[in-house]
Amino acid sequence: MIGYSKRRRAAAGIGFTFLTVISSPLLADWPTFGRDPQRSGWAFDENSITTENAGTIALQWTVQLDNAPLSLTSLMPPVVARDVVTPEGIKTLVYVAGSSDHLFAVDAASGKVVWTRDFKTYGKAKAEPFYLCSNSVNATPAIDKSGNTIYAIASDGRVYGLDLGSGSVKFGPFQLIPPFAKPWSMNFYAGAIYTTTSQACGGDRSGIYAMDVRDPMHPVIRELLIRREYGGGMWNRGGTAIGTNGVLYVSTGDGNFNPSTGDFGTSFLAASTPDLRLLDYYTPRNWREINRLDLDLPTGGIVWFAHKNRTLIAGSGKEAVVYLLDAESLGGKDHQTPLYMTPRLANDELTFEAKGMWGSPAVWTDTDGQTWLYVTAWGPLAERLPKFPITNGPTPHGSILGFKVVDDPANGVRLEPAWISPDMNLPDPPVIANGVLFALATGENPKQTRVATLKHFKSEQEWRNNLLTNEDRARGTFPAVLKALDARTGKLMYQSGEAMKSWVHFSGLAVDNGRVYAVDHSSRLYCFGAKEKPGE
């Protein structure tokens, strides 16, 4: 199972060189969640936004999209493609999937809707929409720029491939996942699309799903289930991360761990593409405790990145411990030895909601060659938090933590605390452009139950009986706020104030050509932009 390491190592080095040298013109867009298959969150060819003009950022336009939110789910994070041929000429288009089976293409220059596609679904969900199972579109689409196609998953689990310029159907629809399952952000790599599922919605067994889309008349579908029964949901915001070594990575939620029977709950997994063979895994030694307290790993997301001569995986969960793993041998020979893991950074109460790491990490390499890792923390930080040289005030609601990735004689590599952001209520996944880190303070109500620790529940049914309603979750919310921070210090350089009209749940940002795109729960798309020079 771990023999892939040596075979992949050389390919990984070649792949990273290829990525850094020539992928800038290929990826001069924001085609997927986190921008690239690795989920880095880094717009590495962006030069219109700078630390000098970040303070001039302002709302450029906003557009109300015709989409009805379902439970907490509304618009998916935006994706962007430049130089798209449309009936109205060549444009940069921003694409947003809507919970109620819509896909919108919006002119990045004006905010005008260029085209919409409504997905016709068959059948009806057996249960009413609820925030665990919203019975809606839930996956961020993915763009194949070379094929002039955007792929999206409708609520009934069918995949559509649409023309970027017109919205006409070029591929499918083909069934990929069970109807009304809960998929997460799509990924596109080497002619195939990927997603993950969770929460057993629609009777789904959590898994990784892939579809080879190169032949529109002969799609090939594969899946990798990681439990004999239910559980182990892979609810990373980014779904999968795919390294330039062609290996797919994901983390799994609460569930039994027993490799001899094919159970891989509470683990980080590596699988081959496109055939989804399990290659490797890492499971924390305290996986039973993580399960018992419902401290799912996927809440903190996962990212693949290169640091000097290494390729690495970073991820975290509600426990608020960040794991740094060797992408070529996730947990060493015993599958339980990380390269490095932080102490607990937040969630001293070890509660399963509203605390710990929620979101998706991001990575940036600065002009000095220093690699940075950024993670989001909800709630107060740990009392025994390692010392961060730079802090930016108290953070009772949440914060973003900046780390330097540095060499270490003992482990080979470690995370060095660098800065803590100002307070954010509550931070969503960050993205980085030219030394500026952007993130949304979502303003959502993260409470799920009337009591906050599993020790109060004697059974799963008792837990379900204590879940808050959709209406409860919508109370006590605040409009989302876009913030721009110095990626080296965490210093606040801009915040959008009252520009956004409502909160947002489980979202993300896109950055392209000097503009930042965000959505909110009221189904509005926002475009923020900076001036080229201060004072212009």
Is pLDDT larger for residue 449 or for residue 444? Answer: 444
- In angstroms, the CA 181 to CA 138 distance is 9
What is the structure's pLDDT at 21?
Answer: 32
164-170 — which CB contacts under 8 Å span 24+ positions?
A: 164/81, 164/84, 164/93, 164/105, 165/84, 165/85, 165/86, 165/87, 165/93, 166/86, 166/87, 166/115, 167/103, 167/105, 167/115, 167/116, 167/117, 169/117, 170/216
Q: Quick one: what percent of the chain has pLDDT higher than 90?
A: 80
Q: Quick one: what percent of the chain has pLDDT higher than 70?
A: 91
**Per-residue model confidence as pLDDT tens digits over 486-519:** 999 999 999 999 999 999 999 999 999 999 999 9
**Per-residue model confidence as pLDDT tens digits over 452-483:** 555 556 666 776 677 778 788 888 899 999 99
pLDDT band for position 532 (cuts 50, 70, 90): low
What is the structure's pLDDT at 324?
Answer: 98
- Read off the pLDDT of each residue in 216-229 and give the average, rounded to a whole number: 89
- In angstroms, the CA 530 to CA 433 distance is 12
pLDDT band for position 15 (cuts 50, 70, 90): very low
- Read off the pLDDT of each residue in 123-141 and give the average, rounded to a whole number: 89
3-state SS, residue 396 = coil
- Read off the pLDDT of each residue in 206-215 and give the average, rounded to a whole number: 96
pLDDT of residue 20 exceeding 50, the answer is: no
Under a CB-based contact definition with an 8 Å cutoff, are residues 484 and 438 in contact?
Answer: yes
> How many Cβ atoms from other residues are within 10 Å of residue 461's Cβ?
9
**Cβ within 8 Å of residue 218, ≥6 positions away:** none
- Read off the pLDDT of each residue in 364-389 and give the average, rounded to a whole number: 97
What is the structure's pLDDT at 316?
Answer: 97
Under a CB-based contact definition with an 8 Å cutoff, are residues 152 and 141 in contact?
Answer: yes
Which domains does the chain show, CATH number per domain?
4-529 (2.140.10.10)
What is the structure's pLDDT at 190?
Answer: 96
**Per-residue model confidence as pLDDT tens digits over 339-376:** 999 999 999 999 988 899 999 999 999 999 999 999 99
